[in-house]
Amino acid sequence: MHKLPPNPDELGRLDLDDILGTIDHEVRQRFGEGEVADYIPSLAEVPKDRFGMALAMLDGTVHAVGDAREGFSIQSISKLYTLTMALEAAGDALWTRVDREPSGDPFNSLIQLELERGIPRNPFMNAGALVTTDVLLSHHADAEVALLAFIRARSGNPRISINMEVVASEQETGFRNVALANFIRSYGNLHNDVQAVLDFYYRQCALHMDCVDLARSVQFLADGGRCPSSGEQVTTSEGATRINSVMMTAGTYDAAGDFAFYVGLPAKSGVGGGIVAVVPRVMGLCVWSPTLDGKGNSLLGRYALHRFTRMTGLSVF
Ligand code: DON
Report the 10 Å Cβ neighbour count for 221.
29
On whether the CB atoms of residues 214 and 155 are closer than 8 A, the answer is yes
253 CA: nearest ligand 1 atom: 12
Q: How far is the CA of 202 from the centre of ligand 1 (A)?
A: 9
272 CA: nearest ligand 1 atom: 9
Report the 10 Å Cβ neighbour count for 100.
18
What does the alpha-carbon distance between residue 165 and residue 170 come to, in Å, rounded to a whole number? Answer: 9
Give the pLDDT score at 238.
96
Give the pLDDT score at 5.
78
On whether the CB atoms of residues 266 and 194 are closer than 8 A, the answer is no
Give the pLDDT score at 12.
86
What does the alpha-carbon distance between residue 120 and residue 101 come to, in Å, rounded to a whole number? Answer: 9
Q: What is the pTM of this model?
A: 0.97
Give the pLDDT score at 218.
98
Atom 2 of ligand 1, nearest CA residue: 126
Q: How far is the CA of 126 from the centre of ligand 1 (A)?
A: 7
For the chain, the helix, strand and coil percentages under 3-state DSSP, each to the nearest 5: 50, 10, 35
| Residue 107 beta carbon below 6 angstroms from any ligand 1 atom | yes
Give the pLDDT score at 100.
96
| Residue 270 beta carbon below 6 angstroms from any ligand 1 atom | yes
Give the pLDDT score at 11.
86
Give the pLDDT score at 191.
98
Helices (H), 30-90: 41-44, 78-90
Give the pLDDT score at 1.
56
In the chain, the N- to C-terminal Cα span, in Å, equals 16
Instruction: Please identify every residue annotated as catalytic.
Output: 76, 79, 201, 253, 271
The pick from 42, 72, 75 for probing ligand 1's pocket by mutation, whose C-beta has the most ligand atoms within 8 angstroms, reads 75
- Taking alpha carbons only, the member of 224, 177, 173, 219 closest to residue 197 is 177
297 CA: nearest ligand 1 atom: 12
Give the pLDDT score at 292.
96
Q: How far is the CA of 116 from the centre of ligand 1 (A)?
A: 21
**AA identity, residue 52:** G
Within the chain, which residues score under 70 in pLDDT?
1-2
| Residue 148 beta carbon below 6 angstroms from any ligand 1 atom | no
What lies within 8 Å, CB to CB, of 305 at 6+ separation is 262, 263, 265, 267, 275, 277, 285, 287
Q: How far is the CA of 270 from the centre of ligand 1 (A)?
A: 6
